[in-house]
Amino acid sequence: MIPAVLVAIALLAAGCGSGSREPLRVVTLGDSVAYDADPGIRAALEAILTETGVGIEVDTRSFGGVGLLRPGFDDYLSDALGTHPDVITLMLGGWDFGEALADPDSYRSRADQVARRITDAGVFLVWIGLPPTPPGEGIEEHRNLVNDLVASVVGGLRDAGYVTGSLLGDSSGAFTRAGIAVDGTLQQVRKIRDGNDDGHLCPAGAALLGEAVAELLKTRHVVGVPIGGPQVGHPQGEWWTGEWTLDPRYDDPPGGCAG
């Protein structure tokens, strides 16, 4: 008779085989800026596959009007958690500016409640900060406050990480229409609407956020190191020029990313 402990070890070893690794399940949540970021996040995460040997499944669920204080958010989050993801990315706050500025402590408490609901479910949270806003909108004070509150919450959680939206800014972190893209060239990262700067993203901006999310997941060991050890350069070729960059959202408004 084979001892039970040997059976257990054999089953564990079989379960750890390379053919049994489950894909990393990622859900992206957020508002209309996050909606523009979603394809870039998906492309960057899918590119991890050739580095780690771990599959990636990305379910993009961002849409306009989402905020922590907006009606229906808790149901929206419940639906996402119900898919049993390993990672949730969250990028929002613009629809909460008024309430956050009026009562920062309450907003921080709400952000902490939402973040802990995610991490307590065994999900790693990537909270993406809001990128710089066009000067003409006059809401940088609001943006900085929300980002500071969220960053303080995320910094106190073990299973969470923060990606700064300032990587879409200029060298001083201020709004810029064009910036240094993933490939090191100068490209348009933010949209133009009616001839004016707009806070929404072009493919180059979405790719920058996607790369940052992917790097965070690797740094925090949510995904493994590359097979054979660390590698230099970008995975899976020039993923930032893929078909996802032709998504119709990057031509809304028409020509918005053609500057």
What is the CATH classification number for the domain harbouring 176?
3.40.50.1110
Q: Is the residue at 236 inside a domain?
A: yes
The alpha carbon torsion through 37, 67, 73, 62 (nearest 10 deg) reads -10
Would the CA dihedral through 48, 52, 57, 59 be positive or negative? negative
**For residue 159, is pLDDT > 80?**
yes
Q: Is the residue at 209 inside a domain?
A: yes
DSSP summary character for residue 202: -
Over residues 109-114, the mean pLDDT reads 98
Q: Is the residue at 208 inside a domain?
A: yes
**For residue 55, is pLDDT > 90?**
no
Q: Is the residue at 160 inside a domain?
A: yes
Q: Is the residue at 17 inside a domain?
A: no
**Which residue segment(s) compose the domain that 57 sits in?**
22-251
Tokens coding 216: 């965070």
Contacts of 229 (CB under 8 A, 6+ apart): none
**For residue 4, is pLDDT > 60?**
no
Instruction: Count CA atoms closer than 13 A to 23's CA, side-chain side.
Output: 15
pLDDT in tens, 126-141: 999 999 999 999 999 9
CB-CB contact of 143 with 132 (8 Å): yes
pLDDT band (50, 70, 90) for residue 226: low
Q: Is the residue at 45 inside a domain?
A: yes
Over residues 51-73, the mean pLDDT reads 93
The total of structural domains in the chain comes to 1
Rounded distance between C-alpha atoms, residue 257 and residue 248, angstroms: 11
Rounded distance between C-alpha atoms, residue 38 and residue 89, angstroms: 10
Q: Is the residue at 8 inside a domain?
A: no
Nearest Cα to Cα of residue 58 among 36, 29, 32: 29
Rounded distance between C-alpha atoms, residue 45 and residue 126, angstroms: 13
Rounded distance between C-alpha atoms, residue 56 and residue 61, angstroms: 16
Q: Is the residue at 16 inside a domain?
A: no
Average pLDDT, the chain: 89
